[in-house]
Structure 1
């Protein structure tokens, strides 16, 4: 396969999270508007029963549910706010996340995202991560 055939960024998202789905819809729409058929972003719903960590840099369900992850075309794994910075940059809206790289804002942004990520399931009315893992066939890998 030609490297140009790979998306610039593959985002792993929780399809059971209404706020996550909204973000994916916005990113997908903006990507289509900007790039037509040469899309830069791909999306993988980790909440699907057939999600296979081995196909996505070994990122376990538990890991992906805890924090947003993405994989770039070179196979490098991105986490947390860096995922949003890269995704928005690829759709021409990088200026929205540019301030999150500023030395004074970067630690605060990362802290705020960490708090959000820790509370995301509860805020969106979902079961705890432990409950979700228990309900999954085979549970959750802890590595």
Structure 2
């Protein structure tokens, strides 16, 4: 069983690129990935709304905890043995800045990734 399941927006190029990087670096199978934009996805098992899932990334730990935002990224990089790459996100003095930056990115991800109407115009990668 994986240490963490990441719930990401597969309609977002930025999100897909980040998940592809994590998949590539996950040599031990510590991560599972769930595309919330997939036609068969239902948020009911998570107990959160699609609106919340579309606001920022979510993750579920093996013990059932639900993480959001940069906490997901920190947990993901730790799970694949690369926690050092996200160490600045954990520093109390910098954390509020990174949280604000992440939320701004998440809010504007379609525009920043050249997507229109909430969906990318290019074909999705498998």
What's the TM-score once normalised by structure 1's chain length? 0.77
Distance 2:112 2:24 in 1: 25
Q: What is residue 124 of structure 2 aligned with on the other side?
A: none
Q: For 1:64-102, what per-residue CA distance to the aligned partner results, in whole angstroms no more than 9, with x for missing partners?
A: 111010000011100000100010111111011111111
Aligned length: 118
Which residue of structure 2 aligns with residue 122 of structure 1?
A: 111
SS of residue in 2 equivalent to 1:75: coil
Counterpart for residue 22 of structure 1: 17
Q: Cα RMSD over matched residues?
A: 1.4
Larger Rg: 1
TM alignment of 1:14-93, pairs within 5 A: 14-31=9-26, 33=27, 35=28, 39-55=29-45, 57-93=46-82
Structure-2 separation of matches of 1:50 and 1:61? 13
Query: 2:102 aligns to what?
Result: 113
State the TM-score, normalized to the length of structure 2: 0.87
Between the aligned partners of 2:2 and 2:107, the Cα distance in structure 1 is 28
* Unaligned ranges ≥5, structure 2: 120-126
The answer to whether the Cα contact below 8 Å between 2:14 and 2:109 also exists between their aligned partners in 1 is: no
Aligned to 1:13: 8
The one of the two structures with greater contact order (alpha-carbon pairs below 8 A, sep at least 6) is 2
Poorly superposed stretches of 4+, deviation over 2 Å = none
Unaligned runs of 5+ in 1: 1-5, 133-143
